[in-house]
Chain A
C-alpha cells in the first residue's frame, strides 16, 4: 500500500441471495484511490456502481473483502464509528437527488450539519453561502417540488459539499439532467476537485468522464472491466486537473 493510497478495496464482494440464486452485485473488486483524485466509474446499468459507492461510504457491508480508509479497514469500525466517518469525511450525491420533500432548499443543505456539531447560526450561514455559490440564493426558501431537476441536483450537491468533506461520492449526478445542467454540475465538481476534494463519480456519460476525471474505472457485471487502459490514460493527461478548473 503506497502512502498516496487513501481509499482501497481488496477483493470486495457484495452478494445477494435470492432464493437458490446468488446475485453478485459486486465481485472481487480491487481498486485504490489516491487522496485528491477525481475518479470516474462507468458501466452499464446493474454493473454494481452504486453498490460499490455504498460500500465505500460504509452504508453497506461487504459479503467478503475489505475497504481500507487510510489503512484502517471499515470492517473494524463499529456502526457508530462508521456513522462518524460519514458525518466527518463523506459527502454523497444521489442519482435521484433524495432531497427531503418537506424541507426548504436551505433546510436541506443544513441537514448536512446535523451530525457535525456545528452551531446552528454557523450552519445557516454556511448553507446560505453554499446555495449562493451554486446560484441558488433566490431559491433558498423553495421546497424541492418547486425546483427544477437541475436546481434540485445543485441543492443535493450543496448538501454533500457544504460541510467540506474529504471524499465525495457522486452517483450519476448528471444522469437526470439536460446537457446544460449536466455541464454546470460537472464544472462544479471539477472546481471542487481543484480545491483538493477526492471525488468518485459514477456516470453513464463517457464524454463527461473523459473530459473531467483523471481516471476511469470500468465495471461490468459487478467486476472491473480490465479491457480498458484507464491508468495509462490518466498518466497521459497529467494536466487534467489544471485544465479542468474553470
Chain B
C-alpha cells in the first residue's frame, strides 16, 4: 500500500463521515486555535520587547548609578558619580559614549503657547546612539553648543501644533533661586530694611538677660524666614531662544524615560549650572543630598544620579558591567534584563504549552473514540484487505494515517482560526489604543516556529491517538470479519 493509497483511503473515509469528521476535527481545531492564539500573544510581546531593545540599542547600553544612593540598600557609600567619574567610565575599553541624565524644569513658549515642561541636556554624540536616534522628523542638533532644541511629539500636541514645528522658535526660560536672592531678602524685606528692624530693638534693655536672648532668637528666626522667602520667591529667570530642529517620540517607560525636550549639553549648562532649580521637589532632592549650592554652581563638582554608557556591540555587556562595578558604581545592564525577560517568556510559553497540551489530549480522546467506532464499522473492509494481502503494518497505517489526517486538518484549521482570532483581537486592541491616544502596538506575532510547533504537536498527538485504535484494527480476526451473517 503506497502513501498515496493510504491518503486517498483516509481522506475518502473522512469525507464520507462528514459530521463525525467535523466534530472530531473541531476538538483539535479549538485546542490548537487557543494554543496558537495564546502563544501568538506571548510571541508578539516578546517580539515587541526585542524590537524595542534593538531600536534603542539597549543591548549595548548600561546605566550607571552611584552605590548607596537613593535606591541603595547598600550600607557602604560608593565613590561620587561626578565629572571625573564620567572620564573614568569613558576610559573602560569598549565604551563609546558616556553621558549623564540631567533634567530640569522649564517654561517654554512655542509659538503663542506657554507650557511648563521638563528638559533634558544631552551631548550631540548621544543622539547618534540608537537610544535617541529615532526622530520622527527633522534632524539632531549639530553640536553640544548648537542653539537648537529637540521636542517630543507629545509636547507639540500640547502646544497645539502637532505638525510643522521644524524651525519654530522655542523660548526656554528657567527660574532659578540663588543664595544672593535669599540674602537680598534678609537685608530688605517688604520695603523694610534690616536697619529699620535693628532700630526697633531697645538697646537699653539688652542688659536684661531674658530680653536679650528673646530678641536674638526672634531676630535670627526672622532672618532665616526672610532668607527662605527670598530664596523661594525672588528667583532669577534665565531665558534662551532656541530653534526646533527635530521631533522625537517620548518614552515614559521606566529606565528609558526621556523628557519632553532635549537641549544640547553646553547650551543647557547655562540653565543647569546657574543655581538651584525653582522646582520644590528638585530643591528638596538637592538639599537632601547635602549640596544645595556649592556643587551645582561648580561644574566640576556636580554629581549625577544616572549616567548612561553606550558600548561597542563587539564587547560583552557583562564585561562592561563588571568594569563599572569595579569602579564602585551600580550598573544596570539591559542585556541582562532582556535575558530575564526571555526567561519569563519561556516559562510563560511552557505554561501555555502545557494548557494547550491538556486541551489537545482531551480532543485526542475524541479521535480515539471516532477511530474505535470506525473499526467496528469497517470490520468487513479490514477482513477484505487482509484476504487481499494486507499485513499488520498496512492495517495499522490505515488507521494512524486517518487519525493523522484528522490531526492535520484540525491543526491547519486551528492555526488559521487562532490567527484569525488574533487579527480580530488585535484590531479591537488597536482601535482601543488609538482611541486612548496610546501608540498602537501589535500584540500578536505568528512566527514560523510557532506554526511548526503547533503542526508538530497537533499532528503528533493525533497520530498517538491513532495508535491504540490501529492496534485494535490489526487484531481484528479476518475469519470473523468475513463470515457471512
Distance between A96 CB and nearest chain B CB, rounded to angstroms: 4
Distance between A165 CB and nearest chain B CB, rounded to angstroms: 10
With known contacts A54-B479, A79-B392, A95-B484, A59–B381 Cβ distance under 8 A: no
Complex interface: chain B residues within 8 A of A116 (CB) = 389
* Interface SS, B side: helix
Inter-subunit contact A114/B5 (CB<8 Å):
yes
Complex interface: chain B residues within 8 A of A84 (CB) = 389, 391
**Which of A63-71, A85-93, A177-185, A218-226 sits within the interface?**
A85-93
- Is B238 part of the binding interface, using a Cβ–Cβ cutoff of 8 Å? no
Distance between B401 CB and nearest chain A CB, rounded to angstroms: 13
Q: Mark A133-172, 1 if CB is under 8 A from B, else 0.
A: 0000000000000000000000000010000000000000
Q: Which residue of A lies closest to B16 (CB)?
A: A102
A50-85 contacts to B (CB < 8 Å): 50, 54, 57, 59-60, 79-80, 83-85
Q: How far is the CA of A159 from the CA of B381 in the complex (A)?
A: 14
Complex interface: chain B residues within 8 A of A50 (CB) = 483
Inter-subunit contact A98/B388 (CB<8 Å):
no
- Is A23 part of the binding interface, using a Cβ–Cβ cutoff of 8 Å? no
- Is B441 part of the binding interface, using a Cβ–Cβ cutoff of 8 Å? no
- Is A94 part of the binding interface, using a Cβ–Cβ cutoff of 8 Å? yes
Interface size on B, residues (CB 8 A): 26
B360-397 contacts to A (CB < 8 Å): 380-381, 383-394
Complex interface: chain B residues within 8 A of A111 (CB) = 384-385, 388
Complex interface: chain B residues within 8 A of A95 (CB) = 484
Complex interface: chain A residues within 8 A of B479 (CB) = 54, 59-60
Complex interface: chain B residues within 8 A of A92 (CB) = 387-388
Inter-subunit contact B4/A112 (CB<8 Å):
no
Q: Contacting B392 at CB < 8 Å: which of A80, A99, A100, A102?
A: A80
- Is B313 part of the binding interface, using a Cβ–Cβ cutoff of 8 Å? no
Q: How far is the CA of A139 from the CA of B458 in the complex (A)?
A: 42
- Give 6 closest A-B pairs by Cβ, nearest first: A87-B389, A83-B391, A96-B484, A115-B389, A86-B389, A80-B391
Q: Given contacts A98-B384, A114-B394, A115-B390, could you give 13 more A-B pairs where the C-beta distance is less than 8 Å?
A: A50-B483, A59-B386, A80-B393, A84-B391, A85-B389, A92-B387, A94-B484, A100-B381, A102-B16, A114-B389, A115-B388, A115-B389, A116-B389
- Please name 26 pairs of A and B residues whose Cβ atoms are closer than 8 Å in the assembled complex, sorted by A: A50-B483, A59-B387, A79-B391, A79-B392, A80-B393, A83-B390, A83-B392, A83-B394, A84-B389, A86-B388, A86-B389, A87-B388, A87-B389, A87-B390, A92-B388, A94-B482, A95-B484, A96-B484, A98-B384, A102-B12, A102-B16, A114-B385, A114-B388, A114-B390, A115-B388, A116-B389
